[in-house]
Structure 1
Amino acid sequence: MKKRMLIVSLVTLVTLVGFIVVKAIDGDTTALNDSFTMEFIAEEWVEDDFHLFESKTGQYRMLFPDQFQMVSAPPEFYGRRDTRFEMWNALIYDDSEDGIRYDFRVMFRNYEAEELVRTRLNIMLQDHSYQNQYAEIKTNDTLIYHGASFWDSNDPEGGLKDPNQNEANNFFGLIRDVHSNRSVEFVYSTICYKEELGCKLDAAKQYEFALKLMKSVEFSDE
């Protein structure tokens, strides 16, 4: 399963790089400069460097970092099924000076049985965690399962490694609405694509960034 998911991630990355090159040439490199992303921005600059994203399902909101843009095409990078399902991808189109590509993926589901939400968590842990390591955060309205791992792109086995022994580059979470069975899956990846630039990463800072986005998820009143 992990090998399959990592292969899918590599294929996705190669495809996204093509979009990055085009966007960089066009000079459209922030959320407010992209017409597709702007369709989802409910309020600009709610915090420094962040806008307010509103789902087309009408079921949730969250912070959206200005340096990122949503991927509008091909269709597999955005999908929605009325108010029950939505998935989308966002990334930084600018070439980074550190050789790292930054992107995150969000998937919303509604009206699933509680045991299915638990199954979603188990699948996420299998695909993205190191030995099922994760932590929990409880708020008045949400329960957040989150964790980090290190994906070694030079490992022929494509294995995930201990984030306590390596600088984590893969950050994941499942955000549950405690008042319903709605959930949001979140995966933030920081993939080294130019090793000659060093790919230096402050894993703690990136984890903090991922948690900020996860904590910002607010489900609408039903």
Structure 2
Amino acid sequence: MKLNKSAYALISLLLIGGCAMSEKNSDEKSEQEESVQQETPALKDEFTKGYLTSAKEVEKGFYEFKSKTGGYTMLLPVEAVISKDFGNELDEDFYEAILYGAEIDQASIDTQIIYEDKPITKNIKENLELLSSSSGYDGSYSESKEGSKTIYYGKETVESEEYTTYQYISYIKENGSDQAISFLYGGSCKTTDESCNAKADEQERTAKKIIHSITFNRK
């Protein structure tokens, strides 16, 4: 079947119009996705946003956090809001403490992370004792090597009349340097909230994901 010039022109216009509409829809979708991203607690808080390497999630539900010391990066939940005053401390490039809070799956999350680049970090026993003392943890730690770091890990469940708190404690030591991180993750659920308590395993997965995402940057 032969097509005249008018038919060819009409088909061309339809194709061009279709491409333009497709690009427009794509742009609108990108704008909508960016708008959704801007609604996360971490991005809405300017102080927290200052620690992120990008406004885009590097994994679903996580941004990449970069220490102000330049000493390490890790994953940070999109719900996290870093405290600007309480629990926040920076001493040049060898010490940093941050504390963030979040509401995830009806659980109240508080996470403290302390970074040190000092010779004292090599005293593993003393540092584990200090971590246990500061967190109230009375258990033992497992030890595992992962790439250039060694991870010491412990966990416990603390019960009270109103709340059940799931604690995940870790000391992450960079092998061959003085860099180390003390990590304490606490997730609290109301004792009567069965749906929240049923997700304790998910809380541990999140804590472990953050711990294992920690990457030290040698200086």
TM range (shorter): 0.7 to 0.9
Residue 31 (1) aligns with residue 42 (2): yes
Residue 111 (1) aligns with residue 122 (2): no
Aligned AA for 1:139?
Answer: E
Cα-to-partner distance string for 1:103-149 (whole Å, 9 max, x where unaligned): 21101111223553431112223454764322122112110101101
- What secondary structure sits across from 2:208 in the alignment? helix
CA distance in 2, matches of 1:176, 1:120: 10
TM-score after normalising by structure 1: 0.72
Query: Which structure would you say has the larger RCO, counting Cα contacts within 8 Å and 6 or more residues apart?
Result: 1
1:202 Cα deviation (Å)? Answer: 2.5
2:52 pairs, out of 36, 41, 55, with: 41
Cα-to-partner distance string for 1:136-191 (whole Å, 9 max, x where unaligned): 22112110101101112249xxxxxxxxxxx8711110110002121111111012
Query: Which blocks of at least 5 consecutive residues in structure 1 are unaligned?
Result: 1-27, 156-166
User: Could you tell me whether the CA contact under 8 Å between 1:129 and 1:148 is conserved in 2?
Assistant: no
User: How do 1:98-137 residues align onto structure 2 when only pairs under 5 Å count?
Assistant: 98=106, 100-128=107-135, 131-137=138-144
Residue in structure 2 matched with residue 68 of structure 1 by the alignment: 80
Q: How many residues align?
A: 179
User: Could you tell me whether the CA contact under 8 Å between 2:121 and 2:180 is conserved in 1?
Assistant: no
User: Could you tell me whether the CA contact under 8 Å between 1:129 and 1:147 is conserved in 2?
Assistant: no
User: How do 1:182-197 residues align onto structure 2 when only pairs under 5 Å count?
Assistant: 182-192=179-189, 194-197=190-193
CA RMSD of aligned residues (A): 2.5
Aligned AA for 2:86?
Answer: E
1:97 Cα deviation (Å)? Answer: 6.7
Query: Which blocks of at least 5 consecutive residues in structure 2 are unaligned?
Result: 1-38
Moved more, 195-204 or 101-110: 195-204
Residue 179 (1) aligns with residue 183 (2): no
User: Could you tell me whether the CA contact under 8 Å between 2:58 and 2:64 is conserved in 1?
Assistant: yes
Residue in structure 1 matched with residue 91 of structure 2 by the alignment: 81
Residue in structure 1 matched with residue 218 of structure 2 by the alignment: 221
CA distance in 2, matches of 1:197, 1:205: 15
CA distance in 2, matches of 1:89, 1:209: 16
1:201 Cα deviation (Å)? Answer: 3.7
- What secondary structure sits across from 1:76 in the alignment? coil
User: Could you tell me whether the CA contact under 8 Å between 2:166 and 2:187 is conserved in 1?
Assistant: yes
CA distance in 2, matches of 1:64, 1:38: 11
CA distance in 2, matches of 1:127, 1:195: 24
1:210 pairs, out of 203, 207, 214, with: 207
CA distance in 2, matches of 1:104, 1:89: 6
Residue in structure 2 matched with residue 141 of structure 1 by the alignment: 148
User: Could you tell me whether the CA contact under 8 Å between 1:110 and 1:182 is conserved in 2?
Assistant: yes
